[in-house]
A and B are shown apart, each in its own frame.
Chain A
Amino acid sequence: MSQTDSPLPRSRAKAARHSLSGSLERMLPRLVIAPSLAVALFFVYGYMLWTFVLSLTDSGMLPQYDFIGFAQYARLFANERWNVAATNLVVFGGLFIILCLFLGLMLAILLDQRIRQEGALRTIYLYPMALSLIVTGVVWRWILNPGLGVESLVRSWGFEDFTFDWLVNPDMAIYALVMAAVWQASGFVMALFLAGLRSIDDNLFKAAALDGASLPKVYWRIVIPCLRPVVFSAVMILAHIAIKSFDLVMALTGGGPGYATDLPATFMYTYTFTRGEIGLGSASAIMMLCGVLAILVPYLYSELRGNKHG
């Protein structure tokens, strides 16, 4: 039936092409797409541009347009709090990426040993990714709260001297952030690695076993080098999660104690919306954009080049 039917609408469409409804039919996809495209262009790229413009002005509580060149950027780099935020980003991002990669890879390798209940375990490891970062932050804030969480629990077991005060210790609070973020993202990295591992020819393991390589050697020398593209994508994804981290910081530490755990995103928010320094906030936002682009552009470049080859 359908075989005999199908040529009909097509020929009908052909015949109608010259009529009004035909041209409407041809325009329809573009008409449907156009509003959303316009909205996206306006709200994404338009606002980016506006932010850049604002970063060149003397805006305070409200936007205004007295252009002062790159003075806001100079102020930004002289700002102690921005430097803390930038340093924090390096520490947080670096540790977060390295730990996620390491844990994700370990979990993936363990799961790849054809163990029982693999499906259930995979879901458990992936589950944190399904939570919003706000929830993660709140949960970890309770866990790490000296008065409520681990510290008080261990003390209640009789270890009175036990201290675990990362959340309130300005030197350690950033590591508390790392811990929560790693907890959330490493399951996702594991899923990436697991997919990579599953695509590896089983015979490679057999060949290596016959060659006399022990299992750790097989992974280190043969399997992990095969996963390089996965590592690359994982780093890209994790890096941009790290740069954009805002909600986790807000929920877990609120940038505190003091501004010890400020990240560029929270810095931008604080200055733009609560301290009435729109110009400075915009400058920091543009700096973040530059950071993201610095990671994204090489990635897209290699992706597109890869596609052309593939």
Chain B
Amino acid sequence: MSALNILHVDKTFGNTQVLKDISLAIESGEFLILVGPSGCGKSTLMNAIAGLEPVTSGDIQIGGEDVTWRTPAERDIAMVFQSYALYPSMNVRQNIAFGLEMRKMPKAQREEAVARVADLLQITPLLDRKPSQLSGGQRQRVAMGRALAREPQIYLFDEPLSNLDAKLRVEMRTEIKKLHQRLGTTIVYVTHDQIEAMTLADRIAVMRDGEILQLGTPDEVYNDPVDMFVAGFMGSPSMNFIPVTLVSRDDGYVLRVLDEQDPTGAPLELPWPPAREAQALHEWVGERLILGVRPEHFVEDETRMETSFDGTRLDVMATVVEPTGADILLQATLSGTEVTMRLGPKSQVAAGERVALRVDMSRAVLFETTNQRRVA
């Protein structure tokens, strides 16, 4: 039985439709992440689940019960806000206990619950402080403690880590992951952070303009995107999109990379792996398509001398080299298109040099140009 079931939910503010026929089912104990560009309706969907905004149409079920018209208090949900929303006049202990008090839990039990979450989140020494006396990370912990104390059926996190600095964000991310694994809670989580989405989620829902474009495991969303938007949105640096024409040859399909600047030169041709000969591909022969290649699917060709390698050899001119520490991001022009490649940290490439690369075509994806849907 699903913990949360959203059925055909629409939400309009005045004349603008912010949520369009959203349907989602979340299993108990699942960690679902909502991602999408700013203004696509993620917070609105969270508010609808929490009951803070009434939906225009559709149903919301929690634990099999229809809660569409119940108040937030009756839904057994806890939410962690980006701004933490701690009650400023109460100390940490009172903040955590407030929800329990409102639910008329006896004082002894309340104190027990506070002690339990304080221990879990290691905030016991902070219990008598006011929120204004806490650091960002500590406030974040208290906000989570307030949610955890009630032991609700579902937790909603709306960009909980975006106010923290990079290092703390990574720490808290790990902590949230540990908590989830330990407590087996059901979580819906909004984030802008690619890595947060990839590392935390059991499933990711990618939203745009009030619609869910793709719902799947992080691996599916990353490696098997349904369209160009999802492909470009997930991953950082984002996927390279290279305009190509599909050409059929005797020995299989070839992608001819178009070069607008230099139409007379010999075009670069990338063979499409025969193993991936999709049924649908033949109807696109001669058409313009978009080839999507992730930066890490380029590899520097150190094995130039060997005759066999699983990839297609390329020769490009490096324009910008950005070492990130863990690896090197290389900008290069590939037949008139700027592409970003992720090379190993040992790479000796310098800007202005020619580099020999291989591209792993077995992981590349193809999109059509009109609706930007996935072709293969």
Contacts and interface: CB of A to CB of B under 8 A. Distances in A.
Given A209-B71, A210-B73, A222-B87, A203 B81 contact: yes
Given A210-B79, A211-B98, A213-B98, A203 B73 contact: no
Contacts of A44: none
Given A211-B99, A212-B73, A206 B83 contact: no
B79 A225 contact: no
B85 interface: yes
A114 to B, nearest CB: 13
A228 B132 CA distance: 15
Contacts of B47: 206
B83 A213 contact: no
Contacts of B102: 211-213, 217
Interface in A203-236: 203-204, 206-213, 217, 221-222, 225-226, 228
Contacts of B73: 209-213
Interface string B50-84: 11100000000000000000011100011101110
Contacts of B182: none
Interface string A175-216: 000000000000000000000000001011011111111000
A212 B81 contact: no
A217 B103 CA distance: 13
B88 interface: yes
A226 B78 CA distance: 23
Contacts, number: 62
Interface residues of B, number: 24
B132 to A, nearest CB: 11
Interface string B242-265: 000000000000000000000000
A228 B51 CA distance: 30
A286 to B, nearest CB: 40
Nearest to A206: B52
A222 B47 CA distance: 21
A207 B88 CA distance: 12
A209 B77 CA distance: 11
B63 to A, nearest CB: 17
Given A206-B50, A211-B73, A212-B99, A201 B85 contact: yes
Nearest to A228: B89
Given A209-B73, A210-B73, A226 B81 contact: no
Given A201-B85, A203-B83, A209-B71, 10 more contacts: A206-B85, A207-B81, A211-B146, A212-B99, A212-B102, A213-B98, A222-B87, A222-B89, A225-B90, A228-B89
6 contacts: A206-B72, A207-B146, A209-B72, A209-B73, A211-B102, A228-B89
